[in-house]
């Protein structure tokens, strides 16, 4: 039995063991915290990489869409006038606007409802406003045009032609 106010060796050992267990516990908590901190940093880094990759994927998807649209535009029907001319012919009894030449579809898809829209003027007034129907023009092919659009009165002062079609 020990006296009051003195600590025996057994109590010192017990307190020493308690202190040692406490220190080992603190070391474990610190090690665990550092591991969690490292894992959190790794998670943040990987999350940032995921965001960067998702942005890259979106950019590539946009590029693919743009390229697909370009391909579709190249395949789409596209009419062009080749040597398409127009003359105001006033010889003879009835004057006429002569439209002649070729219209080509330089696309690979068929052009439907193909027309040449003609507007002609006499002194600022429209006297011809007509669609010349060309019908269907297959991709890569052409059609010849030779139309006479009669009118009355003085010579034409101006006229325009434009091509139109549907897909």
The two counts, helices (H) then strands (E), for the chain are: 1, 6
Asked whether the predicted pLDDT for residue 165 surpasses 60, the reply is yes
| pTM, full prediction | 0.63
Q: What is the pLDDT of residues 104-116, one digit of tens each?
A: 999 999 999 999 9
Q: What is the pLDDT of residues 7-38, one digit of tens each?
A: 788 888 888 888 888 888 888 888 777 788 78
Asked whether the predicted pLDDT for residue 126 surpasses 90, the reply is yes
> CA–CA separation, 29 vs 135, rounded Å?
84
Query: H helices of the chain, where?
Result: 9-75
Residue 145 class from Cβ within 10 Å (0-12 exposed, 13-18 middle, 19+ buried)? Answer: buried
Query: How far is residue 60 CA from its own chain's centroid?
Result: 11
């Amino acid at each position: 039995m020990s006296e009051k106010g003195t600590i025996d060796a057994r109590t010192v050992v017990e307190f020493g063991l308690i202190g040692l267990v406490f220190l080992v516990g603190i070391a474990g908590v610190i090690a665990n915290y550092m591991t969690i901190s490292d894992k959190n940093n790794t998670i943040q880094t990987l999350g940032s990489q995921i965001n960067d990759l998702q942005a890259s994927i979106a950019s590539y998807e946009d590029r693919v869409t743009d390229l697909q649209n370009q391909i579709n535009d190249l395949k789409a029907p596209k009419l062009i006038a080749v040597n398409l001319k127009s003359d105001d012919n006033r010889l003879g009894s009835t004057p006429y606007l002569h439209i002649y030449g070729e219209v080509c579809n330089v696309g690979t898809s068929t052009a439907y409802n193909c027309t040449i829209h003609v507007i002609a003027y006499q002194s600022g007034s429209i006297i011809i406003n007509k669609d010349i129907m060309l019908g269907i023009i297959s991709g890569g092919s052409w059609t010849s045009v030779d139309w006479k659009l009669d009118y009355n009165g003085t010579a034409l002062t101006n006229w325009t032609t434009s091509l139109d079609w549907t897909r």
